[in-house]
Amino acid sequence: MFQKYYKILVIVLCLFHCITDSYAQLDKLNVKRDDPCDCKLSKNLKEGDWSLGAVGDSVIVCNKGAIRTLANGTSKRYSSWVELLKEQSLYNDFERIIYCTTGAMVPRENGFAGYSLTYSKKQLVINWHIRIDSFEVSNKRWSDKIRPVLQQRIYARQGNLFISEKRVIFHPHKISELAIKDVNQMYLTQKKQNNKYGMPPLSKRLFVLAMSGHQVSITRLLNLNKEFDVSEDSRLPGYQAIMRQKLKQK
pLDDT above 70 (res 2) = no
More confident: 1 or 233: 1
Q: pLDDT tens-digit profile of 153-170?
A: 999 999 999 999 999 999
pTM over 0.95: no
pLDDT of residue 152: 95
pLDDT above 60 (res 209) = yes
Helices (H) and strands (E) in the chain, counts: 7, 10
Answer positive or negative: Cα dihedral of 174, 180, 182, 186: positive
φ and ψ at residue 185, rounded to 5 degrees: -65, -40
pLDDT above 80 (res 7) = no
pLDDT above 80 (res 249) = yes
Please state whether 93 falls in left (phi above 0), alpha (psi between -120 and 50) or beta: alpha
Q: What is the 3-state secondary structure (H, E, C) of the chain?
A: CHHHHHHHHHHHHHHHHHHHHHHHHHHHCCCCCCCCCCCCCHHHCCCCCEEEEEECCEEEECCCCEEEECCCCCEEEECCHHHHHHCCCCECCCCCEEECCCCCECCCCCCCCEEEEEEECCEEEEEEEEEEEEEECCCCEEEEEEEEEEEEEEEEECCEEEECCCEECCCCCCCCHHHHHHHHHHHHHHHHHCCHHHHHHHHHHHHHHHHCCCHHHHHHHHCHHHHCCCCCCCCCCCHHHHHHHHHHHC
More confident: 6 or 184: 184
pLDDT of residue 214: 94
φ and ψ at residue 204, rounded to 5 degrees: -65, -40
Residues of the chain with pLDDT > 90, as a percent, come to 32
Q: pLDDT tens-digit profile of 32-84?
A: 445 677 776 556 667 678 889 999 999 988 866 566 666 566 777 777 777 77
pLDDT above 80 (res 10) = no
